[in-house]
Structure 1
Amino acid sequence: MQRRMLMALAATSLAGGLLASGTASAQNPPHSPPGPARLRGTLEGVTETSLTLTTRAGARMTVALSPQLRVALVVAARIEDIRPDSYIGTAATAPQPDGSLRALEVTVFPPEARGTGQGHFGWDLGEGSSMTNGTVGSLVGTNGRTMVVNYGSGEKRIVIPDDVPIVAVEFADRAALRPGAKIVANGQRDAGGGVTAAFILVGKDGLTPPM
């Protein structure tokens, strides 16, 4: 059962925008056009059909919950959890002069989620930022903090600074949606400005999801 749910989680996360292509502004203000929505903030309250959150910019918003809502925990991980053949997602800065990328965060996916959002595309954590989802081909450099990530149509050399957060994703259910938790809600914004979340990442034990 857990394996089936994780596979469903992976499919939903792709549709909902978890480390997947399609960008949205960091806080998705109310005047944003219809399309993918990604909201980051603190969960204030939740019902069967909606939640309220305070965004990082301080705006209070109500978000509808899809009947097919999926939830996952974001948990702390270590550099040792990134190994050759790991499937990961990493947000990064604009390319460095040598063409490499500097990670802003690294997310280690469970085996059941391999292939989620595979690719390299723009992201919303700063000007020129990107997201790369793929398979770690090799680890080089000091303490394995430089990785080559293959995403099918190409590969990127990515440096992981010492202070960059490394996290993993774990299966969860709606019980993880507790007031005070730091969340990333992924979904769609309609023509009227309302957002319906299909997938929510919840930081475990106060952790702020870094993606």
Structure 2
Amino acid sequence: MSIRLKLGVTVATLTFATVVLAQTPSTKPTRIRGDIVSLDGDVLKVHRRSGDTVSIELKPAVAVSAVKALQLSDIKPGSFVGTAATTGTDGKLTATEVLVFPESARGTGEGHYAWDLGPNSTMTNANVDTIVQGTSGRNLKLSYKGGNNEVTVPTNVPIVTFTPAARTDLTAGKKVFVVATPASQGTFVAQRVVVEKDGVAPPM
């Protein structure tokens, strides 16, 4: 791979990660999760988990990425991760997915905030300080600017990192996660797209 291509992949990954998992008070994108119905020209139709089908415009420059599976053992002290989790009645966090960021995307969306993956869902983007083997998985002690917490990662939780994809991967039946902005008449404009590839669906 040439230096120029490597740089391009790095920049694309960083930009994609920033949009997908960053949450700021002034930026509240719509996150669309579901199955691809069709891609007709620049219009992607997605059947959402909520049961409705939406149309999403894909502008020429929109980035398309995928994820590849990792193992729990691939998470090391010093890794920068984004983990969606649920909060138990005891206040403890249990991960529902973990994204290991490429080093070039370290610091993306750093912090702990509400997420929309399910009831009592949160997202923590943070540095892994230590890893301790627990009774129900591995416990990650995380730190981020302004705070820290601990999340338990069960052995069956999907763990992924980013990998390149293209529009040709946007085929009917594949699962997709789209970060988009609302447009007119109930349609959307995609900012970023992550699509199922090689059997690995986006868990975020």
- Does the aligned pair in 2 maintain the 1:21–1:122 contact within 8 Å? no
Once the two structures are TM-superposed, the CA of residue 129 in structure 1 deviates from its matched residue by: 1.1
CA distance in 1, matches of 2:203, 2:158: 7
Q: Which runs of 5+ in 2 are unaligned?
A: none
CA distance in 2, matches of 1:50, 1:5: 25
Instruction: Call closer, same or farther: CA 1:12–1:111 in 2, change over 3 Å.
Output: same
Once the two structures are TM-superposed, the CA of residue 174 in structure 1 deviates from its matched residue by: 2.2
CA distance in 2, matches of 1:189, 1:199: 13
SS at match of 2:21: coil
- Does the aligned pair in 1 maintain the 2:72–2:155 contact within 8 Å? no
After TM superposition, the structure 1 = structure 2 runs for residues 83-94 of structure 1, keeping only pairs within 5 Å, are 83-94=76-87
Match of 1:2 among 2, 6, 19: 6
Q: Which runs of 5+ in 1 are unaligned?
A: 24-34
Instruction: Call closer, same or farther: CA 1:12–1:205 in 2, change over 3 Å.
Output: closer
Between Structure 1 and Structure 2, how many residues are aligned?
A: 198
TM-score under structure 2 normalisation? 0.86
Tell me what 1:120 maps to: 112
* 1:202 equivalent in alignment to 2:204: no
Q: CA RMSD in A?
A: 2.3
CA distance in 2, matches of 1:83, 1:157: 15
Match of 1:55 among 48, 52, 68: 48
1:65-112: CA deviation from partner (whole Å, max 9, x where unpaired): 133211111122110111111111100012552x43111111112222
- Does the aligned pair in 1 maintain the 2:80–2:125 contact within 8 Å? yes
Identity percentage of aligned residues: 37
CA distance in 2, matches of 1:152, 1:8: 25
* 1:138 equivalent in alignment to 2:138: no
- Does the aligned pair in 1 maintain the 2:13–2:162 contact within 8 Å? no
Once the two structures are TM-superposed, the CA of residue 19 in structure 1 deviates from its matched residue by: 2.0
Tell me what 1:27 maps to: none
Tell me what 2:102 maps to: 110
SS at match of 2:62: strand
After TM superposition, the structure 1 = structure 2 runs for residues 146-185 of structure 1, keeping only pairs within 5 Å, are 146-185=139-178
Instruction: Call closer, same or farther: CA 1:193–1:152 in 2, change over 3 Å.
Output: same
TM-score under structure 1 normalisation? 0.83
SS at match of 1:5: helix
* 1:78 equivalent in alignment to 2:80: no
- Does the aligned pair in 2 maintain the 1:53–1:61 contact within 8 Å? yes
CA distance in 2, matches of 1:209, 1:54: 15
- Does the aligned pair in 1 maintain the 2:102–2:162 contact within 8 Å? yes
AA aligned to 2:152 is V
CA distance in 2, matches of 1:187, 1:163: 29
1:8-65: CA deviation from partner (whole Å, max 9, x where unpaired): 33224423xx122169xxxxxxxxxxx5211111112224422111112332221111
CA distance in 2, matches of 1:3, 1:112: 10
- Is 61-70 or 77-86 further displaced after alignment? 61-70
CA distance in 2, matches of 1:96, 1:21: 25
AA aligned to 1:197 is A
